[in-house]
Structure 1
Amino acid sequence: MTNVAATLLAGVVFGLALAAPPGPMNAIIAEESVVHGWLSGFKAGLGAMTADALFFVLAALGVVAFVEEFPTLRAAMVGVGGVLMLYFAYGAAQDVRSSFRPADAVGDADAVGASDGGADRIAGTGFTKAFVLALTNPYQILFWLTIGVGLLDPGTLDVLAETPYVGARLTGLLVVETGSPALVVGFFGGILVWVTGFPAALVGAERRVNSLAPVVAGVSALVLAGFGALFLSQSVGAFFG
C-alpha cells in the first residue's frame, strides 16, 4: 500500500510538473479564466486534459507511434497547430480590449449572458479551443511518442527530469518505477489539480487587481502568437527544408 501511495504521489507531481510551465495550453486557460471566468478556464483545462487522455489511449494501442512513421503527416499536424495558435492569438488580442470591465464586474464573467445562455456558450468555447489545439500541439504529440507511451511499460522514469525548461537541473531527484496504473492515475490527477487551481488563482487575483484581465489576455496573445509562428516555421521547414 505504501508503494502504491508513493507511486500515486509521484504521478501527481509528474502531472503538475508537465502542466504548470508556460506554454500554449496555459495561455488558453489563462485567457479564458480572466476574460470569461473560472468555469471557462476550468473547461479549457479539461479540453487539454481530454486530449492527453485520448493520446494515452492511442499510445497504448500503438496508434500514436504510427504518426512518427510519416514525417509529412506530422509536419502537416504541426502546421495546423501553428495556424490555430495564430488564430487564437488574434482572439486573445481582441479580448485585451473587451476585458476592460467595471470594477464590480471583475470575477463575475461566469454570470455574463446568463439570460440568453451566453455563459454556457463561452465556457464551451474554452474546452473546444484547448482540445483542438492540444491535438495538433507537437509538444504533446512528442511527449506521448516518447515518455507517455512508456508509462505502463515496466521500467523507471526520472519524473522531474522531464519538466519543461528546467528538467536538466532536476535530474535524479525523483525516479519512480513505471508500469503501475497508480502512476497513470496520479499523472492525470496532477493535471486535474492544475486545471482546477490555476484558473481559480487567476480569477482570485483579478478580483484584487482590476487591470489583470487585459494584461493576461495580452500575454496569452503573445505566447500563442510566438508558438504559432514557431510551429509554422517548423512545418514549412519540414516540407521545404
Structure 2
Amino acid sequence: MLSVIQLVLAGLGIGLLMAAPIGPVNVLVIQRAMAKGFWGGLAAGLGAVLGDGVLAAVGAFSIAAISDGMLAYGDTIQLVGGVLLVAFGLALLLRRPVMTTPPHERSHILDHMGIIPQTFILTVTNPGAVLGMAAMIGGLGSLMGGLNTNLEALILVAAVMGGSLLWWLGLSELIATIRHKLTDNRLKMINRVAGFILLAFGAALIIEIGLRHFG
C-alpha cells in the first residue's frame, strides 16, 4: 500500500503524463498563448485539468453510472469531439490571425473563461485520454491493492489535476515569454499549422467511427 506522499507523487506523475503528449488541447493552448498571452493559454489548459479530474474520478471512485454511460455512448461522445476539433481547425484556418493581447500587456483569466468548457469537452471526448486515464488509474490501483477509502481516491484525483495544472502552467509561461518575437507572418503560419493539426485529429476520430460502423 502506498503512503500519502507516494500517492500524491503517483497522481502528479499521471497528470503530467496525460497532459504532456502533443494532442488537440496542447495545440489549442499553444495557439491561445501565442495570441492572447499567459492567461489565454492557461484558461485553455484549465478545461483539460477539469476533464482530467473527471476521468480520474471515474477511475478512482469507480463511478459505475458515469463509466457505463461513457461506454454506452462512446461513439456519440467521440463524434462530438471530432466535430468540435474540425470546427476549431476550420476557425483557425479561416480567421485572420490577430495577437489580441499585445506582448507588453497582461490580460486577466476572467477574459478567457469561454475556452474552458470547450477544452473540457475536448478532453472528456478524447478516446485516448479516456483509455489512458483508465489504464493508469487501474494499474496504480492494482499496485496498491485497490484504493481503500474515499479519501485516498480524492487525494489521487486532486494530485492528477495538480500534475495536469503544472504542465499547463509551464507551457503557457514558456509560450508567453517568447511571443514577443512573433510577426504577423509567423502568427499566420502557427494558426495554419494548428488548424491543419486540429482538422486531422477531428477527421481521424470521425473516420474511425465510420470504419467501425460501415467498414
Q: Same fold (TM over 0.5)?
A: yes
Give TM-score scaled by structure 2 length. 0.80
Q: State the match for 2:163 in structure 1.
A: 190
In structure 2, what is the Cα distance between the partners aligned to 1:92 and 1:109?
23
Q: State the match for 2:76 in structure 1.
A: 76
Q: State the match for 1:238 in structure 2.
A: 212
Within 5 Å, which residues of 2 pair with 1:73-222? 73-95=73-95, 97-99=96-98, 105-106=102-103, 108=105, 110=107, 120-121=110-111, 123-148=112-137, 151=140, 153=141, 155-156=142-143, 179=147, 180-181=152-153, 182-210=155-183, 212-222=186-196
Q: Is the 8 A contact 1:37 1:110 kept in 2?
A: yes
Q: Is the 8 A contact 1:43 1:124 kept in 2?
A: yes
Relative to structure 1, is the Cα distance of residues 62 and 35 closer, same or farther in structure 2, using a 3 angstrom cutoff?
A: same
Structure 2 unaligned regions, length at least 5: none
Relative to structure 1, is the Cα distance of residues 45 and 68 closer, same or farther in structure 2, using a 3 angstrom cutoff?
A: closer
In structure 1, what is the Cα distance between the partners aligned to 2:7 and 2:134?
22
Moved over 6 A (4+): none
Corresponding residue SS for 2:21 = coil
Q: Is the 8 A contact 2:18 2:132 kept in 1?
A: no
Q: Report the RMSD for the aligned CA atoms in angstroms.
A: 2.9
Corresponding residue SS for 1:21 = coil
State how many pairs are aligned: 206
Give TM-score scaled by structure 1 length. 0.72
Relative to structure 1, is the Cα distance of residues 74 and 208 closer, same or farther in structure 2, using a 3 angstrom cutoff?
A: same
- The residue identity in structure 1 corresponding to 2:163 is G
Corresponding residue SS for 1:22 = coil
How far off its partner does 1:136 sit?
1.6
In structure 1, what is the Cα distance between the partners aligned to 2:56 and 2:157?
9
Sequence identity percentage: 24
How far off its partner does 1:98 sit?
2.1
Greater mean deviation of Cα atoms: 142-151 or 201-210: 142-151
In structure 2, what is the Cα distance between the partners aligned to 1:107 and 1:136?
36
Structure 1 unaligned regions, length at least 5: 112-118, 157-175
Greater mean deviation of Cα atoms: 127-136 or 23-32: 127-136
In structure 2, what is the Cα distance between the partners aligned to 1:53 and 1:18?
11
How far off its partner does 1:177 sit?
8.0
